[in-house]
Structure 1
Amino acid sequence: MGAALARAFPEKRLFLRSNTETRYVRLSPATQVMTVSGIAVVVGWTIIASSVLLMDSIGSGHERDQAQREQQLYQDRLNAMSDQRDAALAEAAAAHERFNAALRQVSTMQSQLLDSETRLTELERGMDVTYGKLRDAVLARDAARQEVAQLNDSLNGDGSEMAELARLGDMEKTVDLLAGALTAASGQRDSMMIEAQEAEDFAEEMIFEAKLKQARNDKIFNQLEDALTISVSPLDKMFRSAGLNTENLLDQVRRGYSGQGGPLTPMSFSTKGSEPDADGLRANGILEKLDRMNLYRIAAQKAPFALPVKSSFRFTSGFGPRWGRMHNGTDFAASHGTPIHSTADGVVTHAGRQSGYGILVKIKHEFGIETRYAHLSRLHVKVGQRVSRGERIGDMGNTGRSTGTHLHYEVRVGGRPVNPMTYIKAAQDVF
């Protein structure tokens, strides 16, 4: 073994000459082997570490691009649903107005029909009376004609008989007049019956059209209700997964947006102050779900569901015990100067150095939530400044108690630190 090692790495001497003396260093085969092995180990470790960093960068970049695409897709879907909801509500309101107009027209025609039936009844009664009088007049006329015939035969009539003949002639004219009035009344009755039948046919047609519109409204309502159920459930799950009480959270948002133009309010389809019908109740139910979805979207901007680092990064340490101490946040490692962004809307309460944290930014959010961004190299905000979700607040650095360039990110609720990944993972199911 020693001979083979000596042949592969023969002993070498390095001569070091100065002005006064000459020295040499003896390099034995074993020393040469150890030196070459050390260099090989260092080179190998450098290659492996570089490969790991490259794979982490590629993986995190792919996940970030995927998250951005899903977020844009979800936003497009919400906008499309909002447009569809507005169009459907407008169409429902127009259909309801047309239905009310048709009902008013049907009601008017029904009133006219009732008036026509009343007049028809009165005419029928008048005709019965007229028929009775006409019958009596005809009988009297026949009797008078018989008397006239007898008088003509006798040729001995006096003045009283001639007066009777004149009276009978007047009665005959009256009978003819009554017969003409009866004929006119009969024609009017037939005309009114035709108008009544036409009004009844029109009312049936309007009722059938109203039923068709009701069926169409039911289909629109069903589509809107299903779409809203699919959209609201992931948002509700996201907040519950983050450990937030959704009802209290929505109440806070609702109080902050209680003015005109804020959350949607129930609509009324009745102008008489009565309770809404079934369509009105369904429309109000849809508006309530839309209101809940809008409140969730507002709350999502005010809660830290976003990532503080948008460039390529890798996780270096998570939330929990570490080296015998509690690590209250999550560490993101990237190159020096990488932009750091606010994860939610809020107000900057601290922007400067703090022991252990180095250059630190604290942001106060709604719902008693605070986020912290530590070990920064540069600040882009100041105390009291209001920031929006995604706004750049600083650059990644290595200040404070830090072993390398990274971001220490904390989320605190009511002053108590919680795991930031709870919020980040909860948002991955929605955005």
Structure 2
Amino acid sequence: MISGVFQKAWDLAEQWFPGRQIYHRSDGQVRYFELTTTMQVGALASVVALTGWLCFTTISVAFHGYQMSQQSAAMERVRTESSRMVSEAMANEAATQAMFESQVEEFRSTANEFQSRHETLSQLIQLVEDIDGDEYDPSPALDGGRLLMAATPADPTPRRARDELTLSVHDDPNEPEDRVVSLIEQQDVVLAEAEDAAEARLENLRAVLRLTGLRLDDVLSENRDSEESGGPFLSIASSAFGAELDMDDAFSARVARIATRLIEAREIETAVMALPLGVPIRGEYRETSDYGPRMDPFTGRPAYHSGQDFVSAEYRTPIYATGPGRVVYAGWRSGYGRTVEIDHGYGFMTRFGHLSSIEVRRGDTVRTGQQVGRMGSTGRSTSTHLHYEVWNNRQTLDPERFLRAGQYVQQN
């Protein structure tokens, strides 16, 4: 069967490619060669094979080129992605470096600010210590130079005028930034306590002056006017801290405000402690003739009593200075008998009349509670008693106001 099929195929080939003879004449000779069916089929098969090989190689080269182009595109994509990642990494590195430098600069700025705040706060604390460390002569019930007073007569609970500044120390956080923030918050706490203490101290001091019926500005201006002064202007910042503070900075402005309050409180306290707020007699006594209009004991007619009379059970009862000062008169004065006058500064002067004896001399410096004489009945007097006067700027004041104020100035 196979041979039959092969025979049929060969017969068909002989029909399509019959044998052919090709003649060639040259130099009178005729030659020929024959193209058999086998030769023609072989040539056709060779041409077909060659054509197939050319198609195969062409397709292979084209496919290989496509693969190469695909690989090149993939490599280009990888290169582009790598370049992008490198660019992003460089950008992130630059951003991180900039952030680090910014944080370093911010931390340096915060550290400098904290150091400046710390130095300013240290100077404020030093100022408070300098003020509290001043030594004053004792005032009425002011042993140790400290005030303990109530703001008003209606408030029976005294308050400490010199509040102590305390800084609560807590465990510091682990992070440096948190530690700086914590320290700055503690500084703010100290400032708040200092500001409250200064305001409370000023209010208490002003309360004492209000009880005396005096105006604060009048008392302070009297002392400033009585002293020779001059020189260049120095602000609170330069005088208290040795350098000008930046008032545009909230912290420095707050410190300067507190320093102003403290210095103002020291000035007022100096004035208060110079006032005659004590009682001239110790032990039991009674007040007889008050300050103001009364009937004169000698004439029986209306008269003006310029002081306060104190009566004790015993003759020659010791009489004491009611405030620190300097004795400006010690001797006999018409109408007052044996008299002692003490200048307390700020325009204040006290007078002790009708004394039986005088224990000080003119020019002596006396402290609060120091004996200046003994009770008697010299001069224009009907019986043994002390005539006590308080003067301010050559005008008499009601001594009862100062006695009442002295009741709210107690020993610490």
TM-score (norm 2): 0.52
| Mapping of residues 261-276 of structure 1, within 5 Å | 265-266=236-237, 274-275=246-247
Give every structure 1 segment of 4 or more consecutive aligned residues whose post-TM-superposition deviation is greater than 6 Å: 267-273
Residue 327 of structure 1: CA displacement? 1.1
Residue segments in structure 1 that go unaligned for 5+ positions in a row: 1-66, 93-203
Secondary structure of the structure 2 residue equivalent to 1:365: strand
Residue 379 of structure 1: CA displacement? 0.6
CA-atom RMSD in angstroms: 3.8
Residue 366 of structure 1: CA displacement? 1.5
Find the counterpart in structure 1 of residue 45 from structure 2: none
Find the counterpart in structure 2 of residue 383 from structure 1: 362
Is residue 2:281 matched to residue 1:309?
Answer: yes
Find the counterpart in structure 2 of residue 365 from structure 1: 344
Residue 297 of structure 1: CA displacement? 2.0
Please tell me whether Structure 1 or Structure 2 has the larger radius of gyration of its CA atoms. 2
Identity across matched positions, percent: 32
Show CA shifts across 1:157-176 (max 9, x none). Answer: xxxxxxxxxxxxxxxxxxxx
Secondary structure of the structure 1 residue equivalent to 2:330: strand
What letter corresponds to residue 266 of structure 1 in structure 2?
Answer: A
CA distance in 2, matches of 1:430, 1:272: 37
Over 3 Å counting, the alpha-carbon distance change for 1:79 and 1:228 in structure 2 is: closer
**Do the aligned residues in 1 keep the contact of 2:148 with 2:408 (CA within 8 Å)?**
no
Over 3 Å counting, the alpha-carbon distance change for 1:210 and 1:277 in structure 2 is: farther
**Do the aligned residues in 1 keep the contact of 2:142 with 2:409 (CA within 8 Å)?**
no
Which structure would you say has the larger RCO, counting Cα contacts within 8 Å and 6 or more residues apart?
Answer: 2
CA distance in 2, matches of 1:306, 1:78: 19
Find the counterpart in structure 1 of residue 136 from structure 2: none
Find the counterpart in structure 2 of residue 400 from structure 1: 379
Is residue 2:304 matched to residue 1:326?
Answer: yes
What letter corresponds to residue 207 of structure 1 in structure 2?
Answer: E
Structure holding more helix per residue: 1
Find the counterpart in structure 2 of residue 223 from structure 1: 193
Secondary structure of the structure 2 residue equivalent to 1:370: strand
Residue 244 of structure 1: CA displacement? 2.6
Secondary structure of the structure 2 residue equivalent to 1:364: strand
CA distance in 2, matches of 1:257, 1:280: 32
TM-score (norm 1): 0.50
Over 3 Å counting, the alpha-carbon distance change for 1:398 and 1:77 in structure 2 is: same
Residue 239 of structure 1: CA displacement? 1.4
CA distance in 2, matches of 1:271, 1:413: 38
Secondary structure of the structure 2 residue equivalent to 1:402: coil
CA distance in 2, matches of 1:252, 1:78: 27
Show CA shifts across 1:340-378 (max 9, x none). Answer: 111222222221112221111112232222211011111
Show CA shifts across 1:298-354 (max 9, x none). Answer: 112222122111232111111122211111110111121211111222222221112
Residue 229 of structure 1: CA displacement? 2.1
Secondary structure of the structure 2 residue equivalent to 1:234: helix
Find the counterpart in structure 2 of residue 171 from structure 1: none
Residue 276 of structure 1: CA displacement? 6.0
CA distance in 2, matches of 1:415, 1:310: 28
What letter corresponds to residue 328 of structure 2 in structure 1?
Answer: T
Show CA shifts across 1:47-96 (max 9, x none). Answer: xxxxxxxxxxxxxxxxxxxx789x97829975963xx33x66xx99xxxx
Residue 248 of structure 1: CA displacement? 4.1
| Mapping of residues 21-420 of structure 1, within 5 Å | 74=148, 81=163, 84-85=164-165, 205-251=175-221, 253=223, 265-266=236-237, 274-275=246-247, 277-323=249-295, 324-334=302-312, 335-420=314-399
Find the counterpart in structure 2 of residue 173 from structure 1: none
What letter corresponds to residue 333 of structure 1 in structure 2?
Answer: V
**Do the aligned residues in 1 keep the contact of 2:336 with 2:379 (CA within 8 Å)?**
yes
Give the number of equivalent residue pairs. Answer: 247
Show CA shifts across 1:176-212 (max 9, x none). Answer: xxxxxxxxxxxxxxxxxxxxxxxxxxxx944332222
Find the counterpart in structure 2 of residue 158 from structure 1: none
**Do the aligned residues in 2 keep the contact of 1:235 with 1:430 (CA within 8 Å)?**
no
**Do the aligned residues in 1 keep the contact of 2:162 with 2:197 (CA within 8 Å)?**
no
CA distance in 2, matches of 1:369, 1:425: 17
CA distance in 2, matches of 1:249, 1:293: 14
CA distance in 2, matches of 1:318, 1:417: 13
